[in-house]
Chains A and B, each alone.
Chain A
Amino acid sequence: MGQINYAIRVKSLTFGYSEKTVLDNLEINIEANKLNFILGRNGSGKSTFLKIIAGVLPAQNASIQIFGNDFKTTSITERAKLIGYLGQHHKAVFPFGVEDVVLTGRAGYVKLMPGKLDKTIAQEALVKAGILHLKDKNYMELSGGEQQLVMIARVLAQQPKIILLDEPTTHLDFCHLTNLMKLLRNLTKEGITIVAVIHDPNLALLMGDEFLYMNNKKLFKTEKSENIWETGVLESIYSDNLERVPYKDKMLVMPALN
């Protein structure tokens, strides 16, 4: 088998907003070409973690390596070719066309003006995200879910090796949700590492390759052999009030409401 290829290696990552520590000496290795899901309570620091890896928040004294490259010495432009990021809330101000929004994903490659190649790649990204029909629509007039897919297409146009997604499933209906999950699976086959924060443990457990969870200001990874449904990991994240529901040869979790 040889050595494991790590996409992201993080050591001694500590981060806080003013007085409050959110991440405390976090350490994690994330394997390449996998669909990684991060679970955790609201406000547990999942988004903060993604933002630091994306370069939106400062990494401070942490040691972060992206495919063996030191995070701090890579420029914003180089980083954009390695890491794509989709944040939680995106508020549009101007009524840009969908195609123009997706085209901005090419910023790391474009010197001054996007060329033919960039337009082709943006077009392909729209096809991949399954929203080619929205190409000429006004971004502001789309539904929340459609806007989400446009922003995903924008990240795809960026052609990064790692894609960080902060709650990409919010606003998506069941149909779009299924399509997105298929898309993410396909991307990992194309050699792209996905790290996504989601709130639905069932989706994470059924679809994901790797399962990370945020607890006590640290990020943990479950072992593959571990049967996460039964070891109490979910209880340690959320609460004891969980119920198991059999599904095929697996189990799903539900909040116990009584």
Chain B
Amino acid sequence: MNLTKITKIVLYCLPLPVIIISMFIGPSNMVRFPESFFQLFSTHSDANQLAKSIILDVRLPRVLLTFFVGAALSVSGGALQSVFRNPLVSPYILGLSSGAAFGAAFAIATSLLPMQLSAFIFGFASVGLCYLIASQKRQISMVSLILAGIIVNGIFTALLTITQYLADPFKLQSIVYWTMGNLHNSNWTKFLSSVIPISIGILVIIVFRWRLNVLSLGDDEARTSGINPTRNKLIFVLAATLASSAAVAVAGIIGLYGLIIPHIVRMLNGPDNRTAVFQNIFFGGTFLVLIDDFSRSVWDFEIPIGVFTMLIGAPVFIYIMRKSNVGWDR
């Protein structure tokens, strides 16, 4: 009992120190901890203007954006797992990543749309398409959802391949970099444009979070106790897709993150969504900031963050799959 309390306090207090320390991690040796931290608040020295600008205009937006992206993916993943009663569901299984990747590639290759907007639109559309294909009459079965996700992923991967094939080599490089998932070119404009949809999505999930407990017992149980499963599932799917599409549009593909974090939160907190939603925000956000710190400080060059999450996430995924004995039948 005491241990879980301590875990909770640590979880909720962790973000602030991690965010502050993360601002002092990076390739520039102009920025040092703790000198630069105190210099932030002094107006005297001119020599430290550069350090100040690195911290406030380069690192701060990056760290905050990373936090929001991590929170968005974790909260969305947790909500979708409850809605579909399956601990192995994430926004990506519904076709989000390949839709967004095609959207970004399309924008890079044709310059018809802003890249972030295009990734967002196609990411959102791919989940919508997946949901439409999977829904039959009153219910959405797990198997048809997974199969629809495979088909939607297939369609957009094919379209992505065509786009890559036709794009000139310089643009092709940008496309490939985008799909690796990275946050290195964060700035305040990117942050502000994505934080609004992410916040709306997360807020909707926070407001309705208790209904996730009802929905995760099953459609019949929800319906007969007074919750329309079809309508409420749609609310959560829309909110989760809004938040995670915005996250993917700005950060690229961060593989498996939205699947792993909700699982860790369930192990620490239990499945009750009244508290799990907040822990997904705090832990999901903080952990991605930590991974990002790692990815830009371990080697001389930066490793795309999506590569990291995928390599860490894969064994965890296999572990959950083995342990939870998930039946895909419902």
Q: Please give the residue numbers on chain A whose beta carbons come within 8 Å of chain B beta carbons, in ascending order.
A: 51, 54-56, 58, 76-77, 79-81, 83-85, 87, 90-97, 100-101, 103-110, 112-114, 154, 158
Most buried by A among B82, B217, B220, B274: B217
- Contacts A93-B85, A113-B274, A158-B225 given; does A101 touch B217 at CB 8 Å: yes
Interface residue SS majority, chain B: loop
Closest A residue to B218 by CB, please name it.
A90
Q: Are A90 and B217 in contact (CB under 8 A)?
A: yes
Measured CA separation A54–B218 after assembly (Å) = 15
27 CB contacts below 8 A, A to B, read: A55-B223, A55-B224, A56-B223, A76-B226, A77-B226, A80-B225, A80-B226, A81-B226, A90-B221, A93-B87, A93-B216, A94-B266, A94-B271, A97-B270, A100-B271, A104-B213, A106-B225, A107-B211, A107-B214, A107-B222, A107-B226, A107-B227, A108-B225, A109-B226, A112-B207, A113-B274, A154-B221
Number of interface residues of B (CB under 8 A): 31
- Partner of A114 from B85, B138, B210, B227 at Cβ < 8 Å: B210
- Chain B residues contacting A58 (CB-CB under 8 Å) are 138
Interface residue SS majority, chain A: mixed
Q: Are B216 and A94 in contact (CB under 8 A)?
A: yes
Q: Are A105 and B223 in contact (CB under 8 A)?
A: no
- Partner of B225 from A90, A96, A97, A107 at Cβ < 8 Å: A107
B218-259, CB < 8 A from A: 218, 220-228
Q: Are A97 and B227 in contact (CB under 8 A)?
A: no
Q: Please give the residue numbers on chain B whose beta carbons come within 8 Å of chain A beta carbons, in ascending order.
A: 82, 85-87, 138, 207-208, 210-211, 213-214, 216-218, 220-228, 266, 270-272, 274, 326-327, 330
- Partner of B226 from A79, A97, A101, A112 at Cβ < 8 Å: A79
Q: Are A76 and B221 in contact (CB under 8 A)?
A: no
Measured CA separation A80–B225 after assembly (Å) = 5
